[in-house]
Structure 1
């Protein structure tokens, strides 16, 4: 999955947002996105598991989920 955080600046209110990906059979790390109220268009994104800053990235699953019936 490709996420361009700069595209998030349109029609997204200022504040902190959490992006969670739901895909059957996979587990993705949530992404924290901070949209600045003081500096319009300024966005910071980081993976929640390690706080590494991001600009553009390809989001890959951390693992395959195992489901039991």
Structure 2
């Protein structure tokens, strides 16, 4: 969750995080002793709630691709 001053600020951040723009992405924390997160298949979703941006990012166990 990202707390910004305005809803317009949130919308700008989420536009920048859109993979289609190629502008960038957030990096997960990598606490000592935890498995690496991010190198395998993952999915992320964003939502605007007023001046809050909520980013949900999940990764499948063992970073496997989803079954087809």
Q: TM-score, normalised by structure 2?
A: 0.29
Larger % of helix: which? 2
Greater strand content:
1
